[in-house]
Structure 1
């Protein structure tokens, strides 16, 4: 038991050191000393890797990579990790947990990676081809901070064969394959989800600008990005357009701009009514999921109608933002306890 306590504390300290490094990279700080646990040469190599992500994946701009590094680095303070883990038993019997990671936004599988290792287990990560360099680079430094982890972390882009449990994230179609190949193991399978905003008409200009961040952060590629707005009858959409104007540069990203042009052309050819402000398309429909560069919306006449919509679609909704829900601007700022799909991964790991 004593050895488990020491090992847990060492892993927490290792992640806390990694957090300092991630926050520095997220803020684009200049190397000044060894307080981040790396030499100047090592730090510059990581900086170069951050800049190079957009070559591997056009969606992974330096700004988006830094945003992810900073947001997840904020989890990794020693006291925050210790408090989060205080009621979670450390594994007495080590299991190998396979993580099949998505690649829609930078480091999207980091929270699962963190949960598995801080529960005392080993991890095998099957990386997405869209995000296959950043986490291994960070993990190399984590293993330097905590050498015991060198035998606990494996990365692969190939087939996974030896495991005791699986956490897999993918599309609705992918979950059929997950079930076929990994259904015999204890598992968490995640499918497509999206997020909604419930407006009541009293939102300030600042809150509408923050809603813009919920929509456009990571170009809208995350399950925590808002794709549908519920608006009270009489809400003036010009207020929304005015509030999000500061995000107009998003259309200058080639991949986003291509999506905007394509969906505008397709929907207009099919005679759909669209509202357009030259960088995002609005379509009135009750459909939850919208194409990239488009936001769906519909009106409600009574708050109970909005509540009913959220309840009806709860299995496909990741986050609800609005007054009385997650604050505007915080959809892509989850805390340690904000588990994807509402499944407590730490509790699940404790039962393996």
Structure 2
């Protein structure tokens, strides 16, 4: 299978997802794939929340929609062309240890390994063990040759040439110990911040709500900390995020919200809350679920320098005309194919093995 064929096969996901998300596939007979695939994915989106209480249907469909937008033939070509990958390479066995904090978070690593021409040894997260296997099954239907290029690992990962592992700071120490002698990408806990200047529009602040609360704030690209001017009125922020108030109706989120609110009150920590999101002034970056840290500043340059020093702790910095590599409001959960986690170029890593 050459590079052109691999790109074409992956681009078929966009056709499938476009039909899945937009057509009545139970009645439409003009489908590109067997109806059973659409029905199976529909069942997975409906029941995902029973396997992982955080995977509510709305968020699963959102994740699928983002992948639909990414996986066009044009996007895949624009992503991969600069690397000048060869049609045939010495195939390596690449272990992928996936996270499961948000739906399909490990999918980018999988398609990176496959488009590079290597063999993927996939260790699924128990929190996301429905969606990824479905898309592997669909890909093998599209191109049966992939059946010999993907292996799902149930037990300990062995006999690998390189590894891509995503986890917490604690698991990263284990990964370093176990995989450190082989070529590796090991990702740790990162989070994202937003820097406000006070000049943001209502639309900006509403979009920021998406960055904070999509996936209940559980992704490394979710904003968990605000930097705001010393005179910024937080009521403006609360007004902006109000459209996301229904998040409190999800019991797992509500349980976290209530728990952390109780802890803060017992500790007599000053907090501001609006019934579905707690704001706590804190110098840390990693706020718990249901909570958003904030910090006031006097000098924007000081914040810019601090964030540059803390680059390895951060996935995204959201703002407008503040940083060279900033992410626009509302865009953190829409990464392009070449926006790599932790800033580590996965394709370049795989190319040079």
The TM-score range, normalised by the shorter chain, is over 0.9
Q: Does 1:337 align with 2:338?
A: yes
C-alpha separation in 2, matches of 1:42 and 1:167: 29
C-alpha separation in 2, matches of 1:125 and 1:34: 33
C-alpha separation in 2, matches of 1:41 and 1:72: 20
Query: What is the count of residue pairs matched by the alignment?
Result: 345
Q: Does 1:43 align with 2:38?
A: yes
Q: Does 1:9 align with 2:4?
A: yes
| Secondary structure, aligned partner of 1:328 | coil
Deviations 1:71-92 (CA, angstroms, capped at 9, x unpaired): 0121111122122111222351
Q: Does 1:129 align with 2:123?
A: no
Cα deviation, residue 28, structure 1:
5.4
Cα deviation, residue 34, structure 1:
5.0
C-alpha separation in 2, matches of 1:29 and 1:254: 31
Contact 1:279 1:293 in 2 (8 A): yes
Cα deviation, residue 287, structure 1:
0.8
C-alpha separation in 2, matches of 1:329 and 1:39: 35
Q: Which residue of the partner structure matches residue 314 of structure 2?
A: 317
Give 1:280's match in structure 2, choosing from 270, 277, 280. 277
Q: Which residue of the partner structure matches residue 136 of structure 2?
A: 139
| Secondary structure, aligned partner of 1:123 | strand
Give 1:104's match in structure 2, choosing from 92, 95, 101. 101
Moved over 2 A (4+): 22-25, 32-35
| Secondary structure, aligned partner of 1:74 | helix
| Secondary structure, aligned partner of 2:70 | coil
Cα deviation, residue 182, structure 1:
0.9
5+ long unaligned stretches in structure 2: none
Q: Which residue of the partner structure matches residue 30 of structure 1?
A: 24
| Secondary structure, aligned partner of 2:2 | helix
Q: Does 1:118 align with 2:115?
A: yes
Q: Which residue of the partner structure matches residue 77 of structure 1?
A: 72
5+ long unaligned stretches in structure 1: 1-5
TM-score, normalising length: structure 1: 0.95
Q: Which residue of the partner structure matches residue 187 of structure 2?
A: 190
RMSD, aligned α-carbons: 1.2
Q: Which residue of the partner structure matches residue 176 of structure 1?
A: 173
Contact 1:28 1:66 in 2 (8 A): no
Cα deviation, residue 98, structure 1:
0.4
Q: Which residue of the partner structure matches residue 204 of structure 2?
A: 207
Cα deviation, residue 196, structure 1:
0.2
Deviations 1:268-298 (CA, angstroms, capped at 9, x unpaired): 1011000010101000111111111100001
